[in-house]
Amino acid sequence: MSQNPPGPAAGPGSPVAKPEGIRLGIGLTTPSPELAQICGNSGFDFVLIDMEHGPADFETAYRMVTALAGTPADAWIRVAANDAVLIKRALDTGATDVVVPMVNTREEAERAVAAGKYPPAGIRGWGPFRAQYQWRTTLFDYSKRANDEVRVWVLIEHPLAIENIDAILDVEGLGGAIAAPLDLAVYMGHLDGPNHPDVQEALAGALAKIKAKGFPVLRFGVTPEQGRQAIESGATSLLLGFDTMFVPAAVQLYLSQLNRLG
């Protein structure tokens, strides 16, 4: 559940409605509270602070989560590794969701989930001194709510994860799983992207199992065409790429429409 107030997207004119039942997100590699706040007020439902492939440190991540606290968007963090200390520190920023990369087995998924849960459900160290303020509550109320409301997602981005996906999705307390097309393509030996039939087959199988388990189906949709295809395939959330991808794509989309008007 979002900890943030509802509100219209900022900007000129009336906001354009999202497709019904679809959540939109963007990943930020740029360590900027200001950019996070802009995205949080631009119609996104969640903003993923990328600490795996971006330069943001934890001090900056805290400030980015704080900047998002006054927007309609949830603050997500992708940590750099399946490490209990990194997951604990990410959640202590007040983020609602943490995304854990390279989870390939049931045991690895269990370790990630345990790191995001307070005892007795897990091993998360107690100390939500900042998280309470991001959630607009008290220290002990946060502690009572966190195990139910914090979500730990795992990234399915390796052939071994595809092989073990049934066992991974069976882990109690898991908040979701994301089939990562670009990473999976690379680890399957296709450096030119995820369009190879073998990659598409693996992705389709993973997505079908994620949906069958009742988890949200999150897919990438960098272009409107990709987004429409993802929705038609059953996606409930669209990640519109990362800042380094989305900004150039938005410029190209603008120019293509501008040229059609000429």
d(CA 220, CA 182): 10
108 forms bridges with which residues in the sheet? none
pTM value? 0.92
What lies within 8 Å, CB to CB, of 206 at 6+ separation is 156, 162, 165, 177, 179
Tell me the CA distances in angstroms from 152 to 38, 96, 228, one per residue in order: 25, 9, 27
156 forms bridges with which residues in the sheet? 179
Q: What pLDDT digit, counting tens, does each position of 212-232 carry? A: 999 999 999 888 888 999 999
| DSSP one-letter code for 48 | E
Tell me what the pLDDT averaged over the chain comes to: 93
d(CA 209, CA 192): 26
Q: What pLDDT digit, counting tens, does each position of 173-214 carry? A: 999 999 999 999 999 999 988 999 999 999 999 999 999 999
User: Which overall architecture, per CATH, does domain 23-261 show?
Assistant: Alpha-Beta Barrel (3.20)
Q: Which residues are catalytic?
A: 53
Q: What pLDDT digit, counting tens, does each position of 144-172 carry? A: 999 999 999 999 999 999 999 999 999 99
- E strand segments, 18-64: 23-28, 46-50
Domain boundaries, the chain: 23-261
